[in-house]
Structure formats: C-alpha cells, structure tokens
Amino acid sequence: MIEAFATRYSYVLFAALLVLGLYMVVTSSNLVKKVVGLNLFQTGIFLFFVTTAFVDGGRSPVVPAEAGPGEVFASPLGQVIVLTAIVVGVALTAVALALIVRIYDEYGTLDEETLREVRTDE
Amino acid sequence: MSSLVETGLALLVVVPMVGATLPLALSLVRDQVGWATATVVLAVEAALAARVAYALVLEGGRVVHVLGGETFGRTNREVGGESTEGFAVGIELVGDALSGLVVALVAGVALGVLAFARRGGPRTNAFYSGYLLLTGGLMGVALTGDLFNLFVFLEISGLATYALVASGRSPTSAVAALKYLVLGTTGASMYLVGVGYLFLRTGALNMVDVSRTLAGSVDLPGLEGALYGDPLVVAAFGFVAVGLATKAALFPLHTWQPDAYAEAPDTVTVYISALASTAAAYALARVTWFVFTPAFFDFGPANRRVLEFLLALATVSVLVGSALAAMQPRIKRMLAYSSVAQFGLIVIGIGVAVHPAAGEQATRFAVYGVGIHLVGHAVIKSGLFATAAALAADTGARRVQEYAGLARRRPFLAGGMATLAFGLVGVPPTVGFLGKWYIALAAVEARHWPLVAVVFLSTVLSLLYVARVLERLYFSGSPETATESSGEIAGSPGETGDAVAADGGDGTDGVVATGGASTGMVALALTAAVLTVGLGFTGAELSTALDPVVEAVTDAAPSTEVSR
C-alpha cells in the first residue's frame, strides 16, 4: 500500500483530483466554484494521460526501421490527447464563465441557493 | 461503393463545420443572413447525407475513410522485430448501416427544423453558427471510428448545445444551460476517463483495434488472451457507460434535461430533443456493441454485473421518467421527462443485445429495436415539441390545463399531436410501435422477464401522461379559453383544404407576441406526424437494412474458449 503511494503518487493524485473536483461540483453552491471543481476534475484526467505517457527510459517516438528488440519508446498519443482535451476544457470554461456572467447580470447572485429562491419568487 | 461515399464521410463533418464560420463572417457585411446561409449549407449537407445514407443503409456495407491521406491508415510493418499487426495510425471515419441511419436523421432534422426557425427562432447570425456547429458535431459522433475522437465530437456538439440553450432571451435559459454544461461536461469527462483506462490497457484508440486487443486476437508483447477480466477494462466500461448515460439523460443523471428542454427557445428544443440524447445513446450502443462486444459481458460475474447495473438504471429510468412526466403541468417539461423514459427503453435494448442470456435472435431484435427506436423517437419527440410550440405560438397554451378544447380550434395541429402522441405510446402502425415491439421481443427472447414487464409497463405508463393531454385536447370544454373566440373560425371541422393555412396564418388570439405559428412550424409538425406513421410501414426495410449491424455484433463475439 505504502509502496504504491510512494511509486505511483501521480495516479494517487489523479484519483484525488478527480474525487475532489467532483465533490466541489456537487456540494459547492457557488457557481464559479462549481466551474473550478469541473476544471480540477478535468485536470485530474489530464494528469492521468500524461502519467501513462511517461515511460521510464523510453525514447522519443521516432522509431527507426532497424530498431532493436529491447528498445522502449514512449507513445506520443497521451500528450496529444491531453493537448486536445485542454483545448476542449478551455472552451468549456469560457462558455461556462460567459453563462455565469449573464446569470449574475440578471439575478445579481452567484449562489445557487439564492438563485433558487429568487426564481421561485418570480 | 464509390469514392464519393468515402469522401462523403469526411465532407459530412466538414461542410457544416466550415459552414458554421459563414454566418459569423457574413455578419460583418449584413445582419440576419444566418438563416439563408444555414439553409444553403444544410441543403448541401442533406443531399450529401442522402447519398451516403443510401449507400450505407440500402446498399449495405462498411465504408472507411482515413483522415489525413496516405501517411495514415492500416499498415503491417515490422518494427524492432515486432509486427504492427495492422493497427490504425490516425483517425478513421467509419460508416455502416447504423451510422447511416443516424446521418440521415441528423441531416433531415437539421434541415427540417430550419423551416421552424424561420419564424420561431432567434434570428441572430451567431445562433446559426452554433446551429451548424452542432450539426457538424453530431455528424462526427455518428461517423467517427475512434474513441478519443468521439469524445471531441461529443464535446463539440455539447458546447454548441449549451450555447444554443442559452440563446433564449429569458435569464432562466442561462441557468438551465449552465446546469447542462456542468453535468454534460462531467459526463463527457467520465467517458474520457473510461477511454483513458482502455488506452492504458490496449495502447489503441481506434474502436476496431481496441476491440481486437481486448479480445486478445492480436499478437502483441505482454498480451496473453482476452483482457475482458482485467479490472481496468471492467472499470473502463463502467466509466464509459455512466458518462454516456449522463449525456443520454438516464434517470438519476437526467436532471439537466427537463430544464434544458423547457427553458431553451422552442426552435432549439425541437432540435436537441431529436438529436442530443440520441447521439449519446448511439455512442453508447456503438461502444457497447463493437468495442466491448457480447463476449466481454459473458466473461465473468463482474462483467455481467456491470451490464445488469446498466439495465437496472435503464429500468428505473423508464419507470421514474414516466411517473415524473405524468406529474408535470407544463407540456414541454412533460415531454422532456418522457424522453428520460424513452431513452431508458433504448438503453434496455442496447443492454439486451449484448446480454449473456441473449441468443442470436434476441440480439437481432434488440439491434432492430434500438436502431428503429432511436430514429423513431427522434422524429416523434421533435414533432411533439414542434406541435406544442406551434400551439403555444398560436394560442399561448403552454400547460396541459390550457389545452382544453384546443382540438376544435386547431384541428390539424391537434390531430398531428394526437398521431405523434400515439406514436410515443407505441400504437401500431406508428414507428414508435415498431421500436418498442422489437425491444420487447428481444427481452422475451432473452428470457429476461423483469425487462419484459418493464417494456410493457412503459407503454401503459406513457399512456398515463399522453392520455392526459389528449383528454384535454379533445374531450374537455374550454373554460379558461372561452373568452378567446376568434380561433373558432379557423378551427371549424368543415374546412379541410385550407385549414392548414388557417392553422398557420391565423394568429389573432393575441396571447403571444410572436404572432402565431408560421406555415413552417405547422408544416414541420405535420411532416413529423406523417413520418411517424409512414416509417411505421417500413419496418421490414429498416430491419433488413440493420442486418449487417446484427452480424457485426454477433460476429464481434470471438470465441472466448480459445482466448481464455
């Protein structure tokens, strides 16, 4: 158990970020904090992909035709996926914040509970 | 199979995506050109989709388009003493009968809803950019053969949907869109975690390659036999299923959906009710059937339990969705909750197709059921939302209460709504009957009796909320609307020929500012009603067209005896 924490710490961090992010999304009543939680959640996933793409002693993935059998190459796919996923994440955050700005303009609050009260009053 | 079809796969995604830039670019020149631009782009798209769908669905076969030219694709090389085993490099777009159906559906709905949007929708150019982007994203979901690419397309269509939902004037639509965004993103991220697990274990993202590797039918170092029992792979299915179930709005994960459907502008509701959840359910079917394959679920108790859990989720979804729908006073919310129930039914079909207890016959019926009900539900539900929106624009009625006696004043819209509602319940000869019938047959063949009970119960339950509306429409007087009498002229039963025009043109009730339902709205609503019945007669053709998919699902089950 302890060994796993010591050697696989980035996987542990991945799980922690995932759960923390999700917890924030579920429990926080502040809309901006929800989006922050969502970002944490996604960052956890990025970390996971980057971690899997790291190969100890792996060479860059330019494979010569006569490569020896024992050589280890790192797959570049993990990094590429994360780059794409980061772009997607940024776009999502931008849309989310734009929506939050509009909600704040209309209701003057960022708090979900207050928002619910305001809306039932209408 | 011509090269046009092969190129067409890529063009189907590219045309609306590139087209999406046009309305924004043209708004530098003048305003309100969005609708015209979108119509041109989507007309091209629909023609293309018709050609591709014809080749995929009616001629059968599987078409693959490798993006990026000759550098990419499947090759067999020796690298470092190991064979590459024909693994795909790059991203493939894959078309088969199932994706052909979805392609035709997306293109048809996108073009059809434009007729509604002419008068009904937001008119800004930006709206139509989002609209085209969404169409492109959905096409991508339907056609991609790559797991990560599927995530990207899900997010593209998701982003466009959030923007479209928020395009309403009322601030409540922004709140609904944000809720949708948070849940939708969480769902898509869950899916990404699942894909990550699969990628970690198989080293591949291409659906075919992942499937082959999972089955253990490739010769890779460190791979002995099937990977189906690997906890990582089972967890991957769990994440993928939960993620896509969120997007398809299954019961405990559905909370975004009624808000988004009810608060979005009518045009957007018609569009996303037909396609947003459909795309997610289609993705779930594709991944479950072709990546994990029936052999995965037959492997061990854990695998089976995951599937049973998904089926339980779907069952609860059917029951609770129907019950909640019956309790809603507002039409749009009622229809939204009914989608929760209907997608429960579709997921039941998806699950039964790969259930260990299902023989070939059960799989066959389940595939038919899922394919037909995906398309059928999309037509019916968007038709119902269009009818409801047209009625609301005409008479201001947005609650079930206010529907009292509307049938006399708007006979054609009411008739359309009745037809569509019967389709939703599953009365023959509508397409809704076909889908439900096949899913029920599949459950019977698989001898999964609780599911059989749920499928039949779902029909009774859907009557519960549908009957409420029809009773109001046809059999109750109009105490609340008695003061508005001008509609009576348009709605007298004697007029047959020009009553459609009267339905559309006569907007004198004065309740709403939009000025009544346009001809386009009424036309869309009635077309959907006609299609609901018309498609019901094409059951034989549709099921024959889906036969290759059935074979692919059953063949995808490699003999587990060998790989174990």
What are the residue ranges in chain B where pLDDT is below 50?
1, 480-514, 557-564
Q: How many domains does chain B have?
A: 1
Does residue B459 belong to any structural domain of this protein? yes
Please determine, for residue A36, whether its predicted confidence score (pLDDT) is greater than 90: yes
Q: Which of A42, A50, A88 to mutate to test the interface with B (most CBs of B within 10 A)?
A: A88
Q: How many domains does chain A have?
A: 1
> With contacts defined as CB-CB under 8 Å, which chain B residues touch A81?
148, 199
ipTM given for this complex:
0.92
Q: Which of A25, A80, A95 to mutate to test the interface with B (most CBs of B within 10 A)?
A: A95
Does residue A104 belong to any structural domain of this protein? yes
- Do B504 and B519 meet the contact criterion of CB atoms below 8 Å apart? yes
Amino acid of residue B201: R
Element of type H or E holding B453: helix B449-475
Does residue B315 belong to any structural domain of this protein? yes
Does residue B519 belong to any structural domain of this protein? yes
Q: Which of B199, B205, B240 to mutate to test the interface with A (most CBs of A within 10 A)?
A: B199
Q: How far apart are CA B18 and CA B11, in angstroms?
A: 10
The single-letter DSSP state of residue B446 is T
Does residue A51 belong to any structural domain of this protein? yes
How many Å lie between the alpha carbon of B170 and the closest alpha carbon of chain A?
9
Predicted pLDDT at B4: 80
Cβ <8 Å between B159 and A95? yes
CB-based contacts of B278, cutoff 8 Å, min separation 6: B102, B105, B374, B377, B378
Residues in chain B: 564
Closest CA relative to residue B339, chosen from B414, B247, B443: B247
User: What percentage of chain A reaches a pLDDT higher than 70?
Assistant: 90
Does residue A9 belong to any structural domain of this protein? yes
Q: Does A84 touch chain B (CB under 8 A)?
A: yes
Chain A nearest-CA residue for B221: A69
Does residue A80 belong to any structural domain of this protein? yes
Q: How far apart are CA B177 and CA B184, in angstroms?
A: 10
Does residue A48 belong to any structural domain of this protein? yes
Q: Does A65 touch chain B (CB under 8 A)?
A: yes
Q: How far apart are CA B360 and CA B354, in angstroms?
A: 10
- Do B388 and B334 meet the contact criterion of CB atoms below 8 Å apart? no
Amino acid of residue A90: V
Give the residue numbers spanning the domain of A28: 2-55+73-121
Closest CA relative to residue B149, chosen from B9, B294, B2, B275: B9
Facing B155 at nearest CB: one of A34, A49, A88: A88
Does residue B264 belong to any structural domain of this protein? no
Does residue A62 belong to any structural domain of this protein? no
CATH number of residue A88's parent domain: 1.10.287.3510
Does residue A63 belong to any structural domain of this protein? no
pLDDT digits (tens, 9 = 90+) for B450-500: 888 988 888 888 888 888 888 888 887 655 444 444 433 333 333 333 333
Give the residue numbers spanning the domain of B415: 298-557
pLDDT digits (tens, 9 = 90+) for B22-77: 888 888 887 778 888 888 899 999 998 888 888 888 877 788 888 877 777 777 77
Does residue B270 belong to any structural domain of this protein? no
What global pTM score does this model have? 0.89
How many Å lie between the alpha carbon of B171 and the closest alpha carbon of chain A?
6
Does residue A16 belong to any structural domain of this protein? yes
Question: How many C-beta atoms lie closer than 10 Å to residue A14's C-beta?
Answer: 23
